[in-house]
């Protein structure tokens, strides 16, 4: 769908590479630019988890790309990069603010080379303000954005999300910004600057909650909140409950009349339906006590026929076996170094199909020679830059 869009990606960790992967999934020619030692998510990756020597984090966010290796600090780096910039529609980066400016690859310098470039930057805290130069990673942003304060028991144990949700939402927003700028470029011929941040992504995740808080003049402390409840602004029983054989969530259906009767709890019945909002903690405690000895099968049999909504809390093994996940084609298996790995596919379907995994994540510098030759560099110059340490590439004729 994005065939013809050329993206030069100076990205590492998760937010930037994941944004570039969204574009690559849709057919853009994404060139990942890494240092000769490899990007962070290639060298280390989260938890040090590797598959046949390859970082699992790298596998998660770098499919459908080509890769070149360039020492950006080398005095001859621009001999390789300027021809690539001239061919690119988009430069995408998530370095610390000012890092690429110091290397002569900031927005103004790149625009001087390619006036209609789309220059997309993702930062932790934004391009200005007192936090702009501070390191910004998912957990820090979850804390400062208020996200942790409304997750878990808001009085005793505020809880971070169990996965870097801000990184991944920030990646989707950055890809969205690039697509908007590209649509404008196709219409007007004009490039421009796209800027996103983890802080903006974290607040966007909380758009409803923040709006409700300020509209009501009260928040989690104003309504009290048992840690089992999933949101400070939604009536009980909306939350997570321990069962004898695991955990389940109960969400709100359109009509909650008869819920206490379905559970068969005199204590819930005595509290009355008004307690679902006015005394949510008491309602939640009573429900939790009633369900402690139940199995999920019993809960489903009691609630679903009456139109109440519940689901078992799955673990990742359950997700891999889930028939709904399989029916939607949301996971894919691939062979890596003789092992089968599970990958999360592009999340959107187009004309009923998910974009194909055309390329597995590339080896370090795998396409250095190929990409630079396409940009017009002579083989002798490419070899000279490799010999000078400006570039890194596998030896010609070797397996990547």
Q: 14 lies in a domain?
A: yes
- In which band, very low, low, confident or very high, does the pLDDT at 225 lie, cut at 50, 70 and 90? confident
Residue 399: per-residue pLDDT: 53
User: What does the pLDDT read at residue 396?
Assistant: 79
Q: Give the DSSP H or E segment for 302.
A: helix 296-303
Q: Which two tokens stand for residue 323?
A: 């028939």
Same domain, 244 and 385: no
Alpha-carbon separation of residue 10 from 28, 283, 298 (angstroms): 15, 51, 53
Q: Are residues 106 and 39 in the same domain?
A: yes
| pLDDT at residue 393, rounded to an integer | 97
Residue 286's Cβ-side half-sphere holds a number of Cα atoms within 13 Å equal to 22
User: Which DSSP string do the residues of 147-189 spell out, in sequence order?
Assistant: TGGGSEETTTEE---SS-HHHHHHHHHHHHHHHHHHHHHHHHS
Structure token digits, residue 144: 């400062």
pLDDT tier for residue 397 given thresholds of 50, 70 and 90: low
DSSP 391: E
In this predicted structure, what is the pLDDT of residue 153? 86
Are 39 and 187 in a shared domain? yes
Residue-level pLDDT at 226: 85
Average pLDDT, the chain: 95
Average pLDDT over residues 61-70: 98
What are the tens digits of pLDDT across the range 370-384? Answer: 999 999 999 999 999
Residues 266 and 164 in one domain: no
Percent of the chain beyond pLDDT 90? Answer: 91
Q: How far apart are CA 384 and CA 378, in angstroms?
A: 10
Are 247 and 384 members of one domain?
Answer: no
pLDDT-derived band at 220, boundaries 50, 70, 90 = low
Q: How many angstroms separate the CA atoms of 137 and 126, rounded?
A: 12
* Domain termination residue (choose one: 307, 337, 365): 307
Tell me the mean pLDDT in the region 296-322: 97
pLDDT of residue 395 exceeding 90: no
Q: d(Cα 356, Cα 31) in Å, to the nearest integer? A: 18
For residue 223, is it within any domain?
no
Place of tokens 């005199």: 266
Q: Which of 273, 307, 341 is the last residue in one of the domains? A: 307
Q: Tell me: do 297 and 369 sit in the same domain.
A: no
Is residue 200 a part of any domain in this protein?
A: yes
pLDDT of residue 400 exceeding 60: no
The residue-averaged pLDDT of 31-46 equals: 96
Burial annotation 240-255 (CB, 10 A radius, 16+ → b, else e)? ebebeeeebbbeeeee
| CA pair distance 89, 82, nearest whole angstrom | 13
Domain count, the chain: 2
Total Cβ atoms within 10 A of residue 328: 13
Q: Which two tokens stand for residue 82?
A: 């300027």
Task: Say yes or no: 28 and 167 in one domain.
Answer: yes
Range in 137-146, 347-356, 388-397 with the lowest mean pLDDT? 388-397
What pLDDT does residue 218 have? Answer: 67
Residue 231 domain flag: no
At 123-175, the pLDDT tens digits run: 999 999 999 999 999 999 999 999 999 998 888 889 999 999 999 999 999 99
Q: Choose the weakest-confidence range: 178-182, 215-219, 229-233, 289-293.
A: 215-219
CATH number for position 137: 3.40.50.10540
User: 262 lies in which domain range?
Assistant: 239-307
Q: Are residues 375 and 280 in the same domain?
A: no
Q: What token pair was written down for 174?
A: 């950055």
pLDDT at res. 222: 58
Q: Judge if 90 and 180 occupy the same domain.
A: yes
CB atoms within 10 A of CB 139: 14
**Rounded to whole angstroms, how far apart are CA atoms 294 and 288?**
10
Same domain, 198 and 250: no
Residue 301: which pLDDT band, with cuts at 50, 70 and 90?
very high
Lowest-confidence region among 21-30, 152-161, 391-400 = 391-400
* Range 21-37 average pLDDT: 98
pLDDT interval class at 223 (50, 70, 90): low
**């009573």: which residue's tokens?**
286
pLDDT at 285 > cutoff 80: yes
183 in the same domain as 50: yes
Residue 11: band (very low, low, confident or very high) from pLDDT cuts 50, 70, 90: very high
Mean pLDDT of the region 237-262: 95
Q: Which two tokens stand for residue 354?
A: 């998910």
Inside any domain, residue 290: yes
Q: Do 376 and 301 sit in the same domain of this protein?
A: no
Residue 341 three-state SS = strand
């Amino acid at each position: 769908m994005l065939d013809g869009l050329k993206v030069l990606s100076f990205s590492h960790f998760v937010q930037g590479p994941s944004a570039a992967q969204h574009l690559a999934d849709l057919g853009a020619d994404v060139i990942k630019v890494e240092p000769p030692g490899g990007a962070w998510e290639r060298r280390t990756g989260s938890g040090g988890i590797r598959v046949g020597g390859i970082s699992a984090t790298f596998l998660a966010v770098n499919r459908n790309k080509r890769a070149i290796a360039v020492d950006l600090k080398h005095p001859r780096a621009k001999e390789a990069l300027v021809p690539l910039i001239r061919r690119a529609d988009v430069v995408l980066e998530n370095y610390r603010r000012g890092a690429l400016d110091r290397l002569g690859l900031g927005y103004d310098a790149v625009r001087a080379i390619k006036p209609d470039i789309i220059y997309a930057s993702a930062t932790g805290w934004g391009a200005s303000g007192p936090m702009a130069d501070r390191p910004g990673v998912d957990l820090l942003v979850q804390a400062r954005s208020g996200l942790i304060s409304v997750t878990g028991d808001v009085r005793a144990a505020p809880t971070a999300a169990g996965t870097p949700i801000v990184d991944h939402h920030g990646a989707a927003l950055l890809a969205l910004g690039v697509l908007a700028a590209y649509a404008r470029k196709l219409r007007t011929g004009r490039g421009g600057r796209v800027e996103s941040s983890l802080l903006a992504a974290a607040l966007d995740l909380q758009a409803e909650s923040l709006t409700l808080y300020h509209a009501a003049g009260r928040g989690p402390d104003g309504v009290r909140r048992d840690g089992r409840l999933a949101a400070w602004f939604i009536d009980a029983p909306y939350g997570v409950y321990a069962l004898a054989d695991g955990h389940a969530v109960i969400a709100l259906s359109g009509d909650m009349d008869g819920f206490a009767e379905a559970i068969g709890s005199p204590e819930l019945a005595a509290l009355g339906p008004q307690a679902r909002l006015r005394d949510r903690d008491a309602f939640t405690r009573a429900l939790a006590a009633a369900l402690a000895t139940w199995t999920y099968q019993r809960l489903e049999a009691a609630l679903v026929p009456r139109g109440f909504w519940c689901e078992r809390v799955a673990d990742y093994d359950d997700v891999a076996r889930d028939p709904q996940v399989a029916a939607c084609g949301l996971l894919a298996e691939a062979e890596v170094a003789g092992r089968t790995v599970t990958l999360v596919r592009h999340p959107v379907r187009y004309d009923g199909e998910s974009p194909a995994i055309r390329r597995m994540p590339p080896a370090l510098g795998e396409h250095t020679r190929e990409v630079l030759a396409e940009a017009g560099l002579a083989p002798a110059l490419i070899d000279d830059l490799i010999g000078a340490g400006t570039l890194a590439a596998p030896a010609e004729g070797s397996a990547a």
